[in-house]
Chains A and B, each alone.
Chain A
Amino acid sequence: MKTSIWLREIRRRANSWFIITMLGALVIIMPVAYVILSFFQPTGGNWEHIKEYLLADYIKGSVILVGSVGFLSTTIGVVLAWIVAAYEFPFRKQFKWLLIIPLAIPPYIAAYTYSTMTSYTGIIQSFFRNHFDYHFTPGTIEIMSLRGAIFVLTLFLYPYVYMIALNYFEKQSASYIESAKTLGLNGFQMFFRLGLPIARPAIIAGSMLVIFEVLSDYGVASFFGVRTISTAIFQTWFGMYDIHAAMRLAAWLLVIILGIFMLERFLRKGRKYDTNVTQSRPLARKRLRGWTAWVAFLTCSAVFLSAFLIPFVQLISWSLKTFEKVWRSDFVSLITNSLLAALIGALIISFFAILAARTINLYPSASSNLLARIMTSGYAVPGAVVAIGVLALFITLDEKLAFIYPKLLGVESGTLVLSMSIAMLITGYVIRFMAQGFNAIESGYTKVPPSYREASFLLGRGLTYTFWKVEFPLLRGSILIGFALAFLEIMKELPLTLLLRPFNFDTLATRTYQYAIDERIYEAAPSSLLLICLSILSVIIILKFEEK
């Protein structure tokens, strides 16, 4: 292409929509880039200490947790998805969505609920002691330490695998399964020789989500005292006040994530069976009778009871006891803080998500794909890493702007302004949850034919008018879904909020966690219930979104 034509193209595309989108992408990528750059910066004595005595333990803790939870939740998720997709049994329809609901319980809430329920004074041991005079040997049923973290994370994260595998089995596998039936395969053979291998890409995708969640987790690991890189970042920051060492740890966590990404690509290599199936026909289910129907029913019931109903009912009962004590003006300010932060964060996310999704839709190219990747990268970057990057960036900004503050704001020189403000927390939220808003809007765009926009251009209307009058009315639903998902994720978010909140700024999530680590479990119940109800709302929105 001639240089003059190339320049002509650049001039054409450099409109305000494009420029603001690029600025948004820059804001998203900067903190992560900052963390990576820490590999090239000198660190103090703390890092040497961590490297020599602690790093191996942290990595080991993370690897064991990721490996165990990844394997167990994948197994549970895939088996449940197969049962629900391939067989007809009593209450199958209800279980289909009930088994997704555990996603609504934030794992850190499940952690303290289960650990209290299974303790010596908890409902399970008390019940057996009081009614049957049975005393458990200490250590048999208590959920604690690494075992507890694995149990809780598995039980409350398997729905990621379940959802994706179920969708695949139901919509993509009909033709394969039907041909396998004609070849005489029985139920077990069908699962192991067909279901598992063909759903491998979907299963890996679900497992990846679980792995990212586990790596990002802070609440569960710290509650059970498991040493992971995420908890180490917190300890280095709050215990040693060493941001450089914390950044180096965050950089190591990013390296692990990069390794997992590469592993995923390797595992998926040449395994994209799903793209071969063009027709999507629902799978005809086999009716189970007698004991097999019972096995299916009881398996689903057991998972649903332990991953949702039992802890949920327990929280209700605790809330009834403590509601009046907890419900005071302070609680209202918690709700207000949570709502306000979530509202501002979700609005900014929606704004940039619309800009980015539209730019990608307007100018599809390799660089647009890169932009989409950048916009959605936050979901894979743990909250603690995002937090440390944002903090380091804001402190640097404060240093650079220090000369202007006394004149502009009338504060003493050397005062930290940006890094003590809520802007830092909101920036963290925007980076971490941009994917939620962006994916919803981008998916909405795929349903708006480009010819609508083109028709508007040819009728003499510009980019902005076309957006407001043609695209926005058709995208309203998707924008609302993206907004709601981002809003609810922010409400629940713990590690980012703990690390980036301004002094004395508490949200429902941080207060719940605070009560739990202070062992005031009953007091933690009302705010937990409120968060769970909000999360159920987000699960319902996700389900509606999936249906569309």
Chain B
Amino acid sequence: MFVNIQNLSFRYSKKQPPVIDRFSFTIEKGEIVGIVGASGSGKSTLLRLLAGLEDPTAGSIELNGRLIVGDNTYIEAEKRGVGMVFQNYALFPHLTVSENICFGLHKLKRPEKKKRLDEMLELVQLQEFAKRYPHELSGGQQQRVALARALAPSPSILLMDEPFSNLDTNLKSLIRMEVRDILQKANITCLFVSHDQADVDAICDRTIYIDCATYVGLEKEAITV
């Protein structure tokens, strides 16, 4: 098992019911898994718990054989090696495309950094846009930059939180295909959250349905497009 989540629970405040209650599931290496559920069902929270952006009230998470959350263990977000594409992309507005992509490459030496940047720009087909700022790009281009930035440090898993929700319908189907291609080329394990069944159908190998994240719902085989 590449990702092993056991009895994970989370609540935003003591006065509110848990958003996630004793939730367990696993992902195999290289799998692209989709999570579908209504608004407020806890699917984004699940991603944030895995990323280290929220602290669970109970349960454990193992990633690539390493315990990252347990009763006495908590590995900080910056040390988990998890990549994430945010719903609003969260591209740093004061940095150019190439500066955004290089942001997480601090462990590489300058020539390696340059090489990795070129690879990423090529992967997302944005070579001519390297010097542009995020506000000078279209929604689809911004999304590809966000993807490149998240993939650049070679994370062990990529988390995508509703990455298509800011795109208009015409653009969506095109971008879905592009993202699927990029993920396949990058050969990465991915957990993908959406409220739109068509998104996961187009991209994921397996889908998990969650309802208030109290249990794992139906799992069905991938619908190949």
Contact residues of A with B, CB < 8 Å?
A: 1-2, 4-5, 8-9, 11-12, 449, 451-452, 454-462, 469-470, 473-474
Q: With a CB–CB cut-off of 8 A, which chain B residues contact A470?
A: 92
Contact partner, A460, options B55, B72, B78, B86, Cβ 8 Å: B78
> A457 contacts which of B74, B76, B87, B88 (Cβ < 8 Å)?
B76
Chain B residues 145 to 160 lying within 8 A of chain A, measured CB to CB, are 149-150, 153, 155
* Contact, CB under 8 Å: B150 / A458: yes
Q: Is the CB of B74 within 8 A of A2?
A: no
In the complex the two chains form, what is the Cα distance from A188 to B11 in whole Å? 51
Q: Is the CB of B84 within 8 A of A456?
A: no
Q: Are A458 and B74 in contact (CB under 8 A)?
A: no
Closest Cβ of chain A to B61, distance in Å, is 13
Q: List 30 A-B contacts (CB under 8 A).
A: A1-B57, A1-B58, A4-B72, A8-B72, A8-B73, A8-B74, A11-B74, A12-B74, A451-B86, A451-B88, A452-B90, A452-B92, A454-B53, A455-B90, A457-B77, A458-B51, A458-B53, A458-B78, A458-B80, A458-B83, A458-B150, A459-B149, A460-B81, A460-B104, A460-B107, A460-B153, A461-B78, A469-B103, A470-B92, A474-B93
B94–A474 CB distance below 8 A: yes
**Chain B residues with Cβ under 8 A from A461's Cβ?**
78, 103-104, 106
- Interface size of B as a range: 20 to 34
Contact between B86 and A454 (Cβ–Cβ < 8 Å)? yes
Q: Of A2, A455, A469, A474, which is within 8 A of B86 by CB?
A: A455
Q: How far is the CA of A459 from the CA of B113 in the complex (A)?
A: 14
Determine how close the nearest CB of chain A comes to the CB of B91; give it in whole angstroms: 8
Contacts of B104 in A (CB 8 A): 458-461
Chain A min CB distance to B148 (Å): 12
CB < 8 Å neighbour of B90 from A5, A449, A460: A449
Given A452-B90, A452-B92; 15 other pairs, CB 8 A cutoff: A8-B72, A451-B90, A454-B53, A454-B86, A455-B92, A455-B149, A456-B103, A457-B77, A458-B51, A458-B150, A459-B103, A460-B153, A469-B103, A470-B92, A474-B93
Cα A456 to Cα B103 in complex, Å, equals: 8
Q: What residue of chain B has the Cβ atom nearest to residue A473's Cβ?
A: B94
Residues in B with CB closer than 8 Å to A5 are: 57-58, 71
Q: Which residues from 116 to 160 on chain B have a C-beta closer than 8 Å to any C-beta of chain A?
A: 149-150, 153, 155
Query: Which of A456, A458, A469, A473 counts the most chain B CB atoms within 10 A?
Result: A458
Instruction: Provide the residues of chain B in CB contact with A8, threshold 8 Å.
Output: 55, 71-74
In the complex, chain A residues whose CB is within 8 Å of the CB of B52: 457-458
With A5-B58, A459-B104 as contacts: A454 and B90 at CB distance below 8 Å: yes
Q: Which of B58, B87, B153 contacts A459 (CB 8 A)?
A: B153
Most buried by A among B53, B72, B90: B90
- Checking B58, B71, B84, B107 against A455 with a beta-carbon cut-off of 8 angstroms, the contacting residue is B84
When chains A and B are docked, how far (Å) is the Cα of A12 from the Cα of B76? 8
When distances are taken between beta carbons in the complex, the residues of chain A under 8 Å from B86 are 451, 454-455
